Chain A
């Protein structure tokens, strides 16, 4: 059977109303300094993302652009205008947000991370999502 050549668009309401496909990842990496970040790309546009910080004390930063301008072909960085949120150790947060990638960075140097990302994915291809580079509240 041939594959369907058409895909749903970014503003297709039904794609967000049905339950999403699970996407689970995480990391226990150690980041050398606070300018380092980890990039997590999703195959499809997200419906929601849960960030679960399993560390017993140390917070992590969550952002939707690289920490530094110029990384990953982004013109702007999340750190330029403090476009990030902190998730405390032992806490989690669920954000109803569409995106195709997220970035995690440490709040201290030589920090060993311990977190999980649980994303609910739509069937909208990631290529349909617009770039957040230079977008207010993300990387500008």
Chain B
């Protein structure tokens, strides 16, 4: 017999009774980062590190993995579905992008009103199918935030909130939908997208920088000084499957999400707003946030937290035991762990 009803997250009794056991022993590998999910909300956790050699370390954190969108092949693109008919006389679009080699078309409107084309060290801007200039970029193999601000007579391109190209051009409001990736043959962008937002206004330099700082979460964007002009936000999590289009000829959807173990992470924090690839095993990852627990030697720790998962990372070949006392609360009842102390 199955029960129609289940207990909620704040059901005190669920935490007062002892939980049922969940345990697993892991053999870690160098540089491994793994998200461990539990079948129910936890009442508490216990972790034990088994160091195979002096100086090894494992790190634990509760930031939940985020997904982005992976576009490794020709003619893969994401098409918006809500812009046709909107008279965007001014607009600003921003998105995170990570490409091993930026060689393809990043973004364009259906009628080629505006296009951003990338080379490994520069972004080329075209407005209404005419090239208008080139802006220099750096570190294109890491996560970067690209912003295009289009006004009635001026168009600006930004890289991580900094203006890299400014052109004067008269243009009309774009028609149709916005594409990231490309639907044209032989034009390939091999990389990832994440967290795209669209404002129905040409943001100025300060406002673009603010967008860059608040770009990785809708709740943050809603505090933007021009939040009233925020038209859309796409986080590229699982609820956006239907927008993934591979081949326009057969209309199939593809679910090109970044795989569970190759994730983009919300870095958070005003000093580190980027959706950086969060390599917990690296020194830079720890220094960036310090929101991880470090275990060395044969250390163990009790963690009296409710969660639906935990991330561990090890930079060496070691072993690691994890025990959880599970409540009877389904994981669907748990909210996303995010914010200060978690990923900000």
Q: Is B225 an interface residue (CB 8 A)?
A: no
Q: How far is the CA of A93 from the CA of B302 in the complex (A)?
A: 9
B43: contacting residue among A63, A96, A135, CB under 8 A: A96
Instruction: State which residues 1-50 of A face B: CB under 8 Å.
Output: 10-13, 15-17, 45-48
CB-nearest residue of chain A relative to B12? A13
B3: shortest Cβ distance to chain A, in Å?
12
A95: contacting residue among B26, B46, B50, CB under 8 A: B46
Q: Is A115 an interface residue (CB 8 A)?
A: no
Is the Cβ of A136 less than 8 Å from the Cβ of B39? yes
Q: Is B20 an interface residue (CB 8 A)?
A: yes
Chain A 111-132 per-residue mask, 1 if CB under 8 angstroms from chain B, else 0: 0000000000010000000101
Is the Cβ of A132 less than 8 Å from the Cβ of B23? no
Is the Cβ of B17 less than 8 Å from the Cβ of A16? yes
Q: How far is the CA of A2 from the CA of B322 in the complex (A)?
A: 45
Interface of B is mostly: strand
CB-nearest residue of chain A relative to B50? A86
Q: How far is the CA of A15 from the CA of B17 in the complex (A)?
A: 8
30 CB-based A-B contacts, threshold 8 Å: A11-B13, A13-B12, A16-B17, A17-B16, A61-B25, A83-B23, A83-B24, A84-B24, A85-B23, A85-B321, A85-B323, A86-B50, A87-B48, A88-B298, A91-B300, A93-B323, A96-B18, A96-B43, A96-B44, A98-B17, A98-B19, A99-B20, A99-B21, A122-B18, A130-B20, A137-B24, A137-B38, A137-B326, A138-B20, A138-B21
Q: Is B324 an interface residue (CB 8 A)?
A: yes
Q: Is B22 an interface residue (CB 8 A)?
A: yes
Question: Knowing A84-B25, A85-B25 touch, does A95 contact B319 (C-beta < 8 A)?
Answer: no
Best-buried of B19, B22, B23 by chain A (most CB within 10 Å)? B23
Q: How far is the CA of A12 from the CA of B16 in the complex (A)?
A: 9
> What B residues does A130 contact at CB under 8 A?
20
> What A residues does B315 contact at CB under 8 A?
none
Is the Cβ of A86 less than 8 Å from the Cβ of B20? no
Is the Cβ of A84 less than 8 Å from the Cβ of B21? no
A133: shortest Cβ distance to chain B, in Å?
13
Chain A 89-104 per-residue mask, 1 if CB under 8 angstroms from chain B, else 0: 0010101111100000
B305: shortest Cβ distance to chain A, in Å?
13
CB-nearest residue of chain A relative to B18? A98
| A-B residue pairs, 3 tightest by C-beta | A137-B22, A85-B321, A98-B18
CB-nearest residue of chain A relative to B300? A93
Q: Is A82 an interface residue (CB 8 A)?
A: yes
By size class, the interface of chain B is 20 to 34
> What B residues does A76 contact at CB under 8 A?
none
Q: Is A109 an interface residue (CB 8 A)?
A: no
B258: shortest Cβ distance to chain A, in Å?
25
Q: How far is the CA of A135 from the CA of B328 in the complex (A)?
A: 13
Chain B 32-62 per-residue mask, 1 if CB under 8 angstroms from chain A, else 0: 0000001100011010101000000000000
Is the Cβ of A85 less than 8 Å from the Cβ of B48? yes
Q: Is B188 an interface residue (CB 8 A)?
A: no
Q: Is B144 an interface residue (CB 8 A)?
A: no
Instruction: State which residues 308-344 of B face A: CB under 8 Å.
Output: 319, 321-326, 328
B18: contacting residue among A16, A83, A91, A135, CB under 8 A: A16
Question: Knowing A11-B328, A137-B23 touch, does A85 contact B18 (C-beta < 8 A)?
Answer: no
Q: How far is the CA of A63 from the CA of B208 in the complex (A)?
A: 54
| Contacts beyond the supplied A85-B25, A137-B22: 18 A-B pairs with Cβ under 8 Å | A10-B17, A11-B328, A13-B13, A13-B16, A16-B17, A82-B26, A84-B25, A84-B321, A85-B323, A86-B319, A88-B48, A93-B46, A93-B48, A96-B43, A98-B17, A130-B20, A137-B324, A137-B326
Q: How far is the CA of A98 from the CA of B43 in the complex (A)?
A: 12
Best-buried of A48, A59, A85, A93 by chain B (most CB within 10 Å)? A85
Question: Knowing A91-B298, A96-B44, A137-B324 touch, does A86 contact B18 (C-beta < 8 A)?
Answer: no
> What A residues does B319 contact at CB under 8 A?
86
> What B residues does A136 contact at CB under 8 A?
22, 39
B244: shortest Cβ distance to chain A, in Å?
30
Q: How far is the CA of A83 from the CA of B22 in the complex (A)?
A: 7
> What B residues does A137 contact at CB under 8 A?
21-24, 38-39, 324, 326
> What B residues does A46 contact at CB under 8 A?
18
Is the Cβ of A97 less than 8 Å from the Cβ of B298? no
